[in-house]
Amino acid sequence: MPRISPSLALKIVLALAASTPRPSIAIGQDRPPNVVIIFTDDQGYADVGAFGAEGFETPNLDRMAAEGRTFTDFYAAQAVCSASRVALLTGCYPNRVGIQGALGPGSKIGINEQEMTIAELLKPLGYATAIYGKWHLGDAPRFLPTRHGFDDYFGLPYSNDMWPKHPTNPSAYPPLPLIDGETVVETDPDQRNLTTWYTERAVEFIDAHADDPFFLYVPHSMPHVPLFVSDKFAGKSERGMYGDVIMEIDWSVGQILDALRRNGLDEETLVVYTSDNGPWLSYGDHAGSAGPLREGKGTSFDGGQREPTLMRWPGRVPAGSTCSEPAMTIDLLPTIAALTGATPPDHPIDGLDISPLVFGEPDAQSPHDALYFYWGRELQAVRSGRWKLHFPHSYRSLEGEGGTGGRPAPYVQREIGEALFDLRSDVGESTDVKADHPEVVSRLKDLADRARAELGDSATDRQGSGVRPPGRL
């Protein structure tokens, strides 16, 4: 019998996972569940009360933890804006779909119309869909959310620091557009109002669609720098403006939860809260905290990609429970497909259905053999179970304290060689144990080679047989 190559085997597995229909978990005879995803920007792992926040309170997020499930080992797919967002919406590693880094104003690339977003997944089932917040997958009309399954859009097309008041490169950016639908309704808006505006639109959307299934995506612009907070929260925390901003986001979560309860939708709605990457540590007092995790945004260490994640669905998700199995934002699309009965994309994706983890099924384990940690096109690390293997690479790190008052301190470049960490006993990735576990190193290297064949790796000059192009103007 001829042998099947690892690359071909992975393609077959991914294609079958994407195409196999799964039964929905129906709410009523004719209505599938609502889905709300709240996605913050540059929030640290320790910036939620349930994850050890200090200097500010997050009562509504803590309520989500008490009424739902805390995920301690949940990752963003890459530690930077656009790459992370395309992964969440498409269920793919960013390099599979050709989106890297943080796309700027006037970008000639964006999300490809051939990719299926969560909104497009759900539209055939009659879902109303909306996004209120930061998009960051291309600002040309063909890349906007309204061309990718969303009925309604209000927010910024990219990061809020890409404007003429940028602290280190102001001449690089045009006035910041605020978009409603596909129309620029204001330039350089008062950013103190952004969180309030997004929240008001989200609540209005819930109220308007209480009788319809809906998908609501709220990707907040905060706490990405520059930080802005409304008067109602300015000075409220003991953690300066950063704490004030998180308290306002927590208020926003409360408003959304209250709207669901007011409309009798609590037991019909899955709410997911997570972040796009870890804290931007160079901004010091305007940055979050990764807590016990190593490094932050822009790195493949856990401080860059492990996110404070909560899921709530009263009557379905076990209240006050915790999941420590590895999972990633790429898993949201296939999980939502499984919960709603939607038809997944007919092309390969990388995420897997984690509904057994969400529902706390006995002995449920991560469906992934491994999770892969890329920076751009470079495969820098792989995690399997408790083990995480880093490959030699350079990374940015702070030397001393971060900046103050919204201005960043400089990073230094450091190097890490091949290193194995036991995340069960060493969450800070500080003690290399590869010499003690050569068999684990060998197994994780084999898993990495499987990813390189399919997804590529610039460090080993692999293009990847499964990489698809981004959209291009």
- C-alpha distances out from residue 362 to 22, 29, 73, 318, 335, Å: 20, 27, 18, 12, 18
- Tokens 């989106």, residue located: 99
**Strand pairing report for 471-472 and 109-110:** antiparallel
Which residues neighbour 365 within 8 Å (Cβ) at sequence distance 6 or greater?
Answer: 325
- Tokens 């290193």, residue located: 419
Catalytic choice (136, 148, 209, 368): 136
Residues 138 and 86: their CA atoms lie apart, in Å, by 11
Residues 225 and 283: their CA atoms lie apart, in Å, by 8
Amino acid identity, position 83 = A
- Burial classification of residue 365, based on how many CB atoms lie within 10 Å of its CB (0-12 exposed, 13-18 middle, 19 or more buried): exposed
Residues 357 and 363: their CA atoms lie apart, in Å, by 9
Among 65, 73, 76, 74, CA closest to 41: 76
Asked about 136 being catalytic, the answer comes back as yes
Contact yes or no for 294/302 (Cβ under 8 A): yes
Residues 199 and 132: their CA atoms lie apart, in Å, by 8
Which residues neighbour 8 within 8 Å (Cβ) at sequence distance 6 or greater?
Answer: none
Which residues neighbour 16 within 8 Å (Cβ) at sequence distance 6 or greater?
Answer: none
DSSP 155-192: E-SS-TT-STT-SS-GGG--PPEEEETTEEEEES--GG
Asked about 323 being catalytic, the answer comes back as no
76-97: b or e for each residue (b if 16 or more CB lie within 10 Å)? bbbbbbbbbbbbbbbbbbbbbb
Beta bridge partners of 187: 177
Among 129, 332, 333, 272, CA closest to 214: 129
Which residues neighbour 65 within 8 Å (Cβ) at sequence distance 6 or greater?
Answer: 48, 49, 50, 310, 320
- Tokens 């509904």, residue located: 355
Residues 23 and 116: their CA atoms lie apart, in Å, by 20
Catalytic choice (81, 224, 323, 368): 81
Q: Which residues are catalytic?
A: 81, 136
